Amino acid sequence: MSYKFTEDHEWVLLEGDVATIGISDYAQGQLGDVVYVEVPTVGDEIAKGDELAVVESVKAASEVYSPVSGEIIDVNTELEGAPTMVNEDAMEGGWFAKIRVTNSADLDDLMDEATYKTFVEGLDE
């Protein structure tokens, strides 16, 4: 069990068939102070690549795309009152949604932590 990352800076943590989704620490740093997060509705089906959440910083709204297909089984309701959790604890407390994945192969083409770290370092050049 380890974090996987997309090129759009979402992270996925798969436990059994449940994937927890958030955005990386790099992404929260780029967005700046998060003031609102729109999370999906529990029970909805979502396809890989669909909009999963919207993160609003002071200056702009940014879409978060689902790296996996499946059913939304839980969302982080604490973000409603404490959106800055995304800045303060992006990799844990700032999670957006849990998805029961229909095809764990969705994760196959994602980056592991070391590869993502190299990917991000390349972006800062």
Partner 1 sequence: MSETSSTKKTVLYNLHVELGAKMVPFAGYDMPVQYPEGILNEHLHTRESAGLFDVSHMGQLVIAGDNPAAAIETLIPGDIQALGSGEMRYSFLTNEQGGILDDLIVTQRTEDLFVVVNAACKAQDIALLTDGLAGKAQVTELTNRALVALQGPKAAAVLARFAPEVATMSFMTYREVDIDGVPCFVTRSGYTGEDGFEISIPNNNAEALCRKLLGDSDVKPIGLGARDSLRLEAGLCLYGHDLTEKTTPISAGLIWAISKRRREEGGFPGADVIQAEISNKPAMKRVGILPEGRAPAREHTVITDEAGNAIGEITSGGFSPSLGIPIAMGYVPLDFSAIGTKINLLVRGKSRPAVVAKMPFVEQRYYRG
Q: How many residues bind partner 1 (CB under 8 A)?
A: 16
The alpha carbon of residue 24 and the mean position of all alpha carbons in its chain are separated, in whole angstroms, by 7
33 or 113: CB nearest partner 1: 33
56 sits near partner 1 (criterion: CB under 8 A): yes
**Max CA distance (Å), the chain:** 41
Any contact of residue 38 with partner 1 (CB under 8 A)? yes
Q: Convert 79-106 to b/e letters by CB count within 10 Å (16 or more is b).
A: beeebebbbeebeeebbbbbbebeeeeb
Q: What are phi and psi of 26, to 5 degrees?
A: -60, -45
Q: Does 42 bind partner 1 (CB under 8 A)?
A: no
Please, which residue, 40 or 67, has the CB nearer to partner 1?
A: 40
Per CB under 8 A, residues contacting partner 1 are: 32-33, 35-36, 38, 54, 56-61, 80, 83, 123-124
